Chain A
Amino acid sequence: MAELSLNSPEVQIALLVVVATLLLIAVLTLFSGGKRGSAVLLVGPCNGGKTTLFYRLKEGSAGLGTVASMQENEGMVQVRNDKDRVVGSVRVMDLPGHPRLRSKLEQYLKDASAVVLVIDSVELTPNKTEAAEDLFEVLTHPTVARRRTPVLLACNKADLETQAHSVDFCRRTIEKQLDTMRKTRLALGGEAGRALSALGKGDKPLQLAALRSPISVGEISAEKGEVAEVMRFLAKMV
C-alpha cells in the first residue's frame, strides 16, 4: 500500500479511466435526449387548438396553420411575465387529441409538472363529453392527484366572440359533466373509487374550485395570439 500515491502512473491511469467513463456517461445521457424531467402538457379533445397554441407559445406565430396531429410535439417555451420580460423557459408537450392516441396521455402524465386542458369554446356542447373525459382522466391519475399538479382549463377560440361561449359557461358545463361521470363511475366501483376521491365527495355537486388539485380557468385565443392566461400559468412553473 505504500506505493499508492497520486504520482504513481497506475493510480493516475486509473483515475483517468474513471473520469473518462463518467464523462462518457454524462455525454451519452445528454445526447440520448434527456427525456426525464417535468413538462407542461397540452391536452384536450380533437380540434381544440392545442398545436396552434403550442406554436404560438414557442415561436410567437401561428405559422401556416395546422392539421390534426398524429404525433406529439415537444419544445422549450420562453416564459414572459406581464412586463414582457423573459423569466425562464419551460418544456411544453403537445399531445394529440385523437382517441386512438390517448394512451400517450397516461404515459406522459407521470412526468407532468402542469396540465393545460385546451377546449374549443365554440363547439363546446358536442365535445363536452370528450373534454370532461380528458379532464376526468387527468384528475384521477394517481400521480396528478398525489402531486396536486396544477391544471388550467383554457377556453380557446375566444376571438370568435359571438359564437364562443363564455368562460363561466364552459366551466359550468364541464363541472356538470364531471359530476354525472363521477356518479356513474362510482357505481362501477373498484379502481375508480380510490381515484375518485380526487374529485371530491359525491354528495355535493362538483365545483372545480373545491377540488384538491388547483384548477384555474381562463380564455385564450391561440390563433390571434392572446395567450396571456397561459403565460401567467407557465410563469408559476418556472
Chain B
Amino acid sequence: MLDYVLAFERGGAILWALQFTSLRHNPLEAINALIRGCLLEERLGDNTFTFNPKSGAPQTLKWTFHNGLGLVFVAVYQKTLSLLYVDELLTNVKEEFVSVYKPGQRGYRQFDETFNRLLRDAESRADAAKKQPVMRSGPPANAKQGTQAVGAQAKKGTQAGKDDDDTGAARKGAANGAVGNTSDGSAGGEDGDHSGGEDNVRAFDVSKLPKGMAGRGARGVRGRPVPGAGGAKVSDSGKKKEDAPAPKVKKARNWNTMLSGGKGDTPTRIDYTEEGDGPGTGASDMDLVSGASASATEDEGRGVGVSRMDVEEDEYDDSEFEDDEDINNGAGRAGSGAGASGSAAAAPKKQGLLASFVNSLAMNVVGKAALSRADVEPALAEMKRKLMERNVAEEIAAQVCDSVGRNLEGQRLAGFTGVAAFVRNAFEEALSGILNKRSVDVLLDIKKSQARGKPYVIVFCGVNGVGKSTNLAKIAYWLGSHNIKCMIAACDTFRAGAVEQLKTHCARLRVPLYERGYEKDPAKVAYEAVRQAEKDGVHVVLVDTAGRMQDNQPLMRALSNLISMNNPNLVLFVGEALVGNDAVDQLTKFNKSLSDLAPTTAGAGGPGGAGEGTGAVGRGQADGSALTRRHGGVIDGIVLTKFDTIDEKVGAALSMVYTSGAPVMFVGCGQTYVDLKKLNVKSVVKSLLK
C-alpha cells in the first residue's frame, strides 16, 4: 500500500497531499531527500529513489513531471513492497490533476476522491495483470548498449530486493561478470557481457571487432587533438584561454644535440639531479620556496612562483565571440560541420516539407506548441554525440541527455527561439548545475583545525600513475605560500622510489617528511605521522598513498582501513583528465569499496553519489570540520590532473563529478609547483558545448 502521495510545484509549494499511513518521521523528509539527491542532480533517468529514514523501514519514491505547468507528482511506499501499478497511477493522476489545476490555488480537497478512484482502478488492473507473467523491460536495454553501465548496476542492486522476476539471478551473474571487465566502452564494442543468462547478448564474435584503433570512434586513442587546429581557431579571437592560450604550442624538443655532430637547438637545461634547484634559473633552494623560480611552462609575464590557484582567471564575456568561433569551427572541422542546423533540418525532412515548415514556424515564431519528445530527440542526440566527443563517459552523457530531455518535454518555447538553441540553453544550465558544487573552503577549514590544535589531514588516493605525488607536492607548495605549515606522510610503502621522490620534493619545498621506509603498514605510518604532526604543531598533514586499481579488493580494503583508522578531514580522489569511460568505474568502485569495506560501517552508503541521508563512514564531524555529507560517499573532493594535455576534451571532469557528487577542488595543469588551479566551470561548460 502506498504511504504518501504528493503533488507540488517546482517552486516548492505543496498543492495536494494525501497520507495513508502514519509514519514516525515526517514524510516531507523523504521528498526533500529526493529533490536534493536526485531531481536536482540531473538523475531523472532513474525512475526510483530509495530513502532510508533514521527510524523505520526504507521507502521507495517514484515520480513524474508535468513540465508544461511545472508540477511534480510523487508516490512514496515501503521498499519491501513491489507495487507495479505506481507508474501508471502517477501518469493517470497527472492527467486528472491537470484538468483540475488552477494556478495560484493551493489545496485541492476535492481531488481526494478522484485519486482514490484512480488508485482502486490501478490496483484492480495490477491484480488482473499478476495472473500473466511480468515482463521486465529496463535492464536488458541497458545491457544492449554494451556498457557495463553503472546505472544498470545500481538498478540491479535496488531491484535485487524485488525478485519476483526469474531473470533476476541471471542479471546478478551478469553484473558480476561485468565487474571483471575494464569498461573501456568503445563505440563498437558489444562484447562486454559473457554471462550466458543475459537475454540479449550474443556470443563474442571476433569478426565484429573493429580493425585496429579505428573502432574507437571520433575520440582517437587518447583524444589528444592536433595542436595546429587548436592554435588556428583561437588565434583570431586573441583572448587568453585558460587551458591553451593560442600561441602556446609546445615546442618539440630537438634531440639531435645529444648526438654528436647533430644540428639541434641549444640545450636548455633539463638535468636537475645535481644542484637540486628549480628549473632554469640556477638559483638555490631558498629561491624555490620564496617563489623566485620561473615556471617551466610557457606562461610569460606572470609573477614568478605564485601558484596558479591564487591567480585570477580572465572571466571574459564570451557571448560576443561565440558567433566568430562558431564560424571558425564550421570552417575548421568538416566532419561536424553539419552540426545543429543539420539536426534541426533532418527531423522535418521526415514529416514533409510544408508540414514541417508550418510546424517549425509555429514553434519558433509563435512559441505556442509544447515540445514533444520527438522534437527534442535530434537535438539531444546531437548533444550526446558532442559530449562524447569531448571525452565524457558514454553512460554519463546518456544519463544527462535523458534527464535534460525529461525536463524539456512539455515545455513551451519562448517566442523566436529555435529548438536547438533552447536545448542548448537547457544543457548549459544542467551542466553548470552539475559542475557548480559547493566546494570545501580548504583554507577556512584548516584555520578551524588550527584553532582546535589538531592537524588537518588530507589523504590522496587514486589509481596508478595519475599524479598523486606530483599534485601533493603542488598543494604543499600552495599551502606553504599561505604560511601554512605542512608535513608529508609517505604512506606509499610499495612502489620503489616513492619515498625518495617525496624526499626530493620535501627537500625542495623545505617541508618535513614522515617516512618509515618500505614494506610497512601504511595505516600505521599515517597514524604515527599525525601524532608527530600534533606534537610539532604542524597544521596540515598530506598523506600520499600507493596507486591501486579499483578492482583490487585487498588493496581497497587496506585503503579503507587507513581512512577509518586515521579519520582524515579530506579524502581527495586524484583522477587524470585523460581518462575516458573508466572514470565512472573508478569513482564508483572507490566510493563503494571505501564505504563497504571499512571495518566499522555505520550503515554503508548507498550507490555512489545517488543517495543522501546515510553518510558512509561517520567522520569529519567530530573534530568540527565543515564537511557535511551531502553526496553520500567517502570521497570529498576530486583533483583533476594532467589538464594541460587536453585542449577541449574536458569531459572527464563532468563524468567524475556526476558519478561521485564531489566537487573538483584542484586542477593540475603542468608539472611544476605552480601549476595548480581551480576549476573554471564556465570555461569547461563552454568547451563541452562548443
Contacts and interface: CB of A to CB of B under 8 A. Distances in A.
A65 B12 CA distance: 9
Contact of A63 (B13, B28, B433, B443): B13
Nearest to A99: B438
Interface string A48-77: 000100010000000111111111110000
A66 B13 contact: yes
Interface residues of A, number: 37
A136 to B, nearest CB: 10
Nearest to A127: B628
Contact of A98 (B31, B36, B415): B36
Nearest to A69: B12
A67 B30 CA distance: 10
Contacts of B70: 71
Given A98-B40, A102-B436, A126-B628, A51 B444 contact: no
B441 A184 contact: yes
A30 interface: no
A236 B11 CA distance: 27
A67 B312 contact: no
A190 B313 CA distance: 9
A101 B13 contact: no
Contacts of B32: 47, 67-68
A93 to B, nearest CB: 11
B364 interface: no
Given A70-B35, A101-B40, A180-B444, A65 B437 contact: no
A188 interface: yes
Most chain B C-beta atoms within 10 Å of own C-beta, residue among A46, A67, A72: A67
A48 to B, nearest CB: 12
A164 interface: no
A96 B35 CA distance: 12
A71 B10 contact: yes
Contacts of A189: 310, 312
B422 interface: no
Given A66-B12, A70-B10, A100-B433, A190 B312 contact: yes
A100 B35 contact: no
Interface in B414-446: 415, 432-434, 436-438, 441, 443-444
Interface residues of B, number: 42
B444 A94 contact: no
B492 interface: no
B312 A187 contact: no
Interface stretch (B14-22, B182-190, B321-329): B14-22
Contacts of A73: 11-13
B653 to A, nearest CB: 16
B8 to A, nearest CB: 5
Interface in B50-72: 70, 72
Contacts of A187: 443, 482
Contacts of B241: none
A178 to B, nearest CB: 11
B107 interface: yes
A70 B32 CA distance: 10
Contact of B432 (A46, A103, A180): A103
Contacts of A98: 35-36, 40
A197 interface: no
Interface string B186-225: 0000000000000000000000000000000000000000
B648 interface: no
Interface residues of B: mostly helix, strand, loop or mixed? mixed
B31 A67 contact: yes
Nearest to B433: A100
Contacts of A129: 441, 444, 626
A64 B107 contact: yes
B443 A70 contact: no
A51 B626 CA distance: 26
Contacts, number: 107
A75 B292 CA distance: 57
A212 B677 CA distance: 32
B485 to A, nearest CB: 15
B436 A103 contact: yes
Contacts of B447: 180, 183-184
Contacts of B309: 188
A215 interface: no
A158 to B, nearest CB: 20
B248 interface: no
B40 A100 contact: yes
Contacts of B125: none
A231 B16 CA distance: 29
B310 A63 contact: no
Interface in A93-111: 94, 96, 98-103
Contacts of A183: 447
B39 interface: yes
A65 to B, nearest CB: 5
Contact of B415 (A32, A47, A55, A101): A32
Contact of B433 (A46, A68, A69, A101): A101
Contacts of B434: 100
B311 A67 contact: no
Contact of A68 (B16, B35, B312, B415): B35
Given A68-B35, A100-B433, A94 B443 contact: no
B402 interface: no
Contact of A94 (B11, B72, B310): B11
A129 B668 CA distance: 27
Given A70-B39, A129-B626, A64 B438 contact: no
21 contacts: A46-B36, A63-B106, A64-B13, A64-B14, A64-B17, A66-B8, A67-B31, A69-B12, A71-B9, A71-B70, A72-B11, A94-B12, A99-B438, A99-B630, A100-B41, A103-B433, A129-B441, A129-B626, A184-B443, A188-B310, A190-B310
Q: 6 tightest CB-CB pairs across the interface, nearest first?
A: A190-B312, A69-B12, A99-B438, A73-B11, A51-B12, A71-B10
